Structure formats: C-alpha cells, structure tokens
A = this chain, B = another copy of it.
Amino acid sequence: MSSLGRIQRTAVGLFAVRGFAATGIREISRGANLNSATLYHYAGGKEELLATIMRACLTELVRAGTDAVEATGDPAVQLVRLVRAHVAVEAINPLTARVTDREVHSLTGANHVEIMRLRDQYEGLFRDVLGLGAAVGEFQLTDPRITRLALIEMCNGVANWYSPDGPLAVPDLAARFAELAGRMVGSRQVTADEYAPDIEVPRLESEPSHEEVPA
C-alpha cells in the first residue's frame, strides 16, 4: 500500500465529510500516520493534494468516457456506454467523485485552470454524443444544453446516495440510468448485445474504505 494512496484516502475522507477548507494538513498527516514533512514530501501542500485527487478522478472519467464513445459510431449506443461508465465511476468511487464535484472552487491559479479544462473536456463527450444523436435524428432534444446538464447532474448524484452494500449492484444501477438517459433523449432502447462489454472502471487509489472515513 503506497504512502501517497494512504494520504489521498485520508484526505478524501476528511474533505468529503468536513470539506476542504475545514481540513488541516495536520489532521491529514495524523490520519495517515505520517509526520507533516513526510506528507509534504509525498503529496505537496493541501491544494496540491486536492488537485492530484481531482485530476486522477477527472482523467479516469475522460478515459472511460472516451473509450465508451469511441467503440461505436451509433449515438444511442454511445450514450448508453457513456452513462454506464459515468455511473460506474461514481458508484465505485463515491467519496472521491463527490470531492471532485464540489471542491473546484477551492483550487487557485493553474490548478483551477487545469481542472476546469478537464471538466470541460468531459462535458464535451456528452455534448458531442447529444449533438451527433440530434444530427442523425436518433435523439429528439428540445434543449441540448439543459439535457446535457440534467444528465450529468443525475449521474453525479449517484455519489450522494449509492451504497455498495445496498440492494443494487453497479451494472444493474448502470442499466437503470442508461434506460432513463435513453428516455430523456428520446432514443430507442439499446440491447446488451449492442453496448457490451462495459468499460472497466477501477477503484481509484484515493477512494477510502469504510474504516478510512472519519465519523
């Protein structure tokens, strides 16, 4: 188990529960059983640590989303694969995803610019798929921008309530969301034959286990 991973999980647990601004670098080092100098050596300062965590999460969303979309030229299938990948990232990494979603405003300067660019790049995948689907007459969109924002917020929301201990496994959850997304855009329903296999989504090194989350 790497020290940087342990530091990131401790930080995500604290950021998710108390927020970035309320979390001190000392609490993180205490939680990770390191002294502050060692933590600084591995992770840099507190903002650097946040940027590293968010960069990894957004890079994974972009990677999985791009793979999902590039597998086919059919926008109905692209949307299903994109939504399934997004839901999987949120459900497998709920605390990391929540911190990534909520703490952009805590970044400054080049960190802020970089993370905003990754977010835009990710949203661009949805924009392109919706645009293609509308252009070829597969989707009926009254307002592509609002549809995109509603889709993304609906998928981001998974990180707020999904529990891996609950009744629904990730692929089933993803299937429900893909169906809802298809309905929202007026797409035909896509069969498993068409969209499978799913993009594999990892548990990120920054995602804490139950025991690593502060009460």
A residues with a Cβ closer than 8 A to B are 17-22, 102, 105, 142-143, 146-147, 149-154, 156-158, 160-161, 168, 173, 176-177, 179-180, 183-184, 186
Number of this chain's copies in the complex: 2
Name the CB-closest residue of B to A19.
B19
Which among A21, A105, A156, A158 has the highest number of chain B CB atoms within 10 Å? A21
A151 to B184, CA, bound (A): 11
The one of B21, B149, B151 that contacts A22, using a Cβ cutoff of 8 Å: B21
23 A-B pairs with CB atoms under 8 Å apart are A18-B22, A19-B19, A19-B21, A21-B21, A21-B22, A22-B22, A142-B176, A146-B173, A146-B176, A146-B177, A147-B180, A149-B157, A150-B176, A150-B180, A152-B157, A153-B153, A153-B157, A153-B158, A153-B160, A153-B161, A154-B157, A180-B184, A183-B184
Nearest B residue to A106 by beta-carbon distance? B18
Q: How far is the CA of A183 from the CA of B143 in the complex (A)?
A: 14
**Chain B contacts for A158, CB-based, 8 A:** 153
A215 to B21, CA, bound (A): 14
Give Cα A142–Cα B113 distance, bound, in whole angstroms: 41
User: A71 to chain B: closest CB distance in Å?
Assistant: 24
Q: Which residues of B contact A168 (CB under 8 A)?
A: 146
Provide the residues of chain B in CB contact with A146, threshold 8 Å: 168, 173, 176-177, 180
Q: Which listed residue (B102, B105, B149, B157) contacts A156, Cβ 8 A?
A: B157
Among residues of B, the one whose C-beta sits closest to the C-beta of A21 is: B22
Chain B contacts of A19 at CB under 8 A? 18-22
The interface residues of chain B lying within 8 Å CB-to-CB of A183 are 183-184, 186
CB distance from A56 to the nearest CB of B (A): 22
Given A142-B179, A183-B183, A184-B180, A154:B161 Cβ within 8 A: no
Q: A107: shortest Cβ distance to chain B, in Å?
A: 13
How far, in angstroms, from A71 to B39 measured CA to CA in the complex?
59
